[in-house]
């Protein structure tokens, strides 16, 4: 496993016909998601909303119980008596490398991931990024860690969501902690050209700009 750092690979989303926004820089990084800054973080937790594994455990380990309390409070405010697969809860706490955290539930208790659920989560969070003025989104491969979604399928779903949504993102960074899984993530994107970059400054965010 690689503890933070690592190198970046980028691929580009072609501009839509008749509309030429700044090219969306799409990055992949072999790192722990909690060490990669941005305007927003998207990851997947469990149906109990217990930050005890994967990115959730890293969040709790690095930032303390406050993030678990904030997640529980967000679920309470949503008025849900039971959490369901496909739910997304938002939190915002001072002192984190992101202004917003999207806690999604992408897998069942049996670790099964439905592609349509991941697609729905991606579409929802891209819309919220637009509403919140986010320019850089950091995300783990939803449902492809503890869940049984294959990385090529996740990349396809992400491509489809990015192509379908008019969003204000300038950068999206997919972060994979396990070195072996990261190599599979790279292999899933070999159909596009990659350019390696040096690691950006810690906790980097894109400048916040007003939307037209």
Q: Is 118 exposed, middle or buried (0-12, 13-18, 19+ CB in 10 A)?
A: buried
Mean pLDDT of 151-175: 89
CB atoms within 10 A of CB 19: 7
When comparing pLDDT for 5 and 91, which is higher?
91
User: Is residue 134 over pLDDT 70?
Assistant: yes
CA dist 185 → 46, 94, 205, 208 (Å): 22, 32, 23, 29
On average, the pLDDT of the chain sits at 83
Distance CA 164, CA 187 (A): 24
Domain annotation for the chain: domains and CATH numbers:
8-197 (3.40.220.10)
Q: What is the pLDDT of residue 91?
A: 98
14-18, 55-59, 134-138, 189-193: least confidently modelled range? 14-18
- The structure's pTM equals 0.83
> Which residues have C-beta within 8 Å of that of residue 94, sequence separation ≥ 6?
none
Q: Which string of DSSP letters, residue by residue, matches 132-191?
A: HT-SEEEE--TTSSSS---HHHHHHHHHHHHHH-----SEEEEEE-SHHHHHHHHHHTTT
Q: Please give the average per-residue pLDDT across 29-43, as a whole number.
A: 95
């Amino acid at each position: 496993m690689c503890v933070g750092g690592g190198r970046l690979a980028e691929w580009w989303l072609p501009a839509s016909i008749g509309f030429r926004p700044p090219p969306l820089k799409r990055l992949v990084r072999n790192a722990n998601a909690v060490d990669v800054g941005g305007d927003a973080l998207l990851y997947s937790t469990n149906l109990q909303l217990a930050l005890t594994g994967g990115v959730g455990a890293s969040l709790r380990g690095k930032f303390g119980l406050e993030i678990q309390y904030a997640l529980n409070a967000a679920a309470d405010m949503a008025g849900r008596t039971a959490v369901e697969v496909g739910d997304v809860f938002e939190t915002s706490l001072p002192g984190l490398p992101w202004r917003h955290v999207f806690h999604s539930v992408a897998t069942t208790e049996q670790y099964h991931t439905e592609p349509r659920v991941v697609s729905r989560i991606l579409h929802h969070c891209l819309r919220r990024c637009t509403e919140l003025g986010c320019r850089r989104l950091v995300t783990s491969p939803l449902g492809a860690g503890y869940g049984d979604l294959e990385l090529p399928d996740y990349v396809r779903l992400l491509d489809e969501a990015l192509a379908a949504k008019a969003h204000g993102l300038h950068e999206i960074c997919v972060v994979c902690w396990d070195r072996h899984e990261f190599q599979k993530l790279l292999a899933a994107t070999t159909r596009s050209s990659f350019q390696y970059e040096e690691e950006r400054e810690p906790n980097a965010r894109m400048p916040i700009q007003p939307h037209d």
